[in-house]
Amino acid sequence: MGLIISEIFRSIQGEGPKSGAPSVFLRLGGCNLRCSFCDTAYASYPEYAKQWINKEVEEVISDLYTARGNAWNLVITGGEPLLQSKTLRLLLGKLQSFFPSIEIETNGTLLPDEIGELHGISYNVSLKLANSGVSELERIKPEAIEYFANHPFSYFKFVVETEENIKEVVEIVERFYISRQRVYLMPRCNSPEELEKAAPLVAKVCIDYGFIYSDRLQFRIFKGERGK
């Protein structure tokens, strides 16, 4: 049983609670949502599927070990990694001795199934708002959100740009009893210039509402270049 992979590379984590950490990225292919502002369409949209590679677990482990260098954090991202949770469980069971820190980036619409049994895995849950262009029925799955809200190592990230987005974040946080100390707001941007303009506004919102500001280092440092 293999994993469908878009790319593997070493860089620094660009956002969220481990921002700045030297990391290896395992980007899986395929997603169950289609967000209008997706910055990894090549790993998410089915029209790019011919670019993805199916690799057996042992081969993926070898690739990750080769890419690791001195990185101590593993980021499993996508696309939506939890679409491949069964095979991912096999991989993770063999990787924890390689990486003392492992985080899974998810859109929060799927339960982690057997992965949830593993200790030491953290989740960066990027719930989508109306600005994603995805219907509420598709992006808000109460059972999954409640699971992550009660998981001790889950953090929530929201991409925001307007007052309406902020209101929606507050509604979600209050509805699912999510601690504001676990909520990160990120500016919506597609370039370093857009990030530079939006960052102070989002930072002020975080101060006003008690959320945590998350920068987007992949834009600030690497200009959004793929594989960095």
Q: What is the mean pLDDT of the chain?
A: 94
Three-state SS sequence of the chain: CEEEEEEEEEEECCCCCCCCCEEEEEEECCCCCCCCCCCCHHHHCHHHHHHCEEEEHHHHHHHHHHHHCCCCEEEEECCCHHHHHHHHHHHHHHHCCCCCEEEEEECCCCCCHHHHHCCCEEEEECCCCHHHCCCHHHHCCHHHHHHHHCCCCEEEEEEECCHHHHHHHHHHHHHCCCCHHHEEEEECCCCHHHHHHHHHHHHHHHHHHCCEECCCHHHHCCCCCCCC
Q: Where are the domains of the chain?
A: 2-220
pLDDT in tens, 146-203: 999 999 999 999 999 999 999 999 999 999 999 999 999 999 987 888 889 999 999 9
User: Is residue 227 over pLDDT 80?
Assistant: no
Superfamily of domain 2-220: Aldolase class I (3.20.20.70)
- In this predicted structure, what is the pLDDT of residue 113? 86
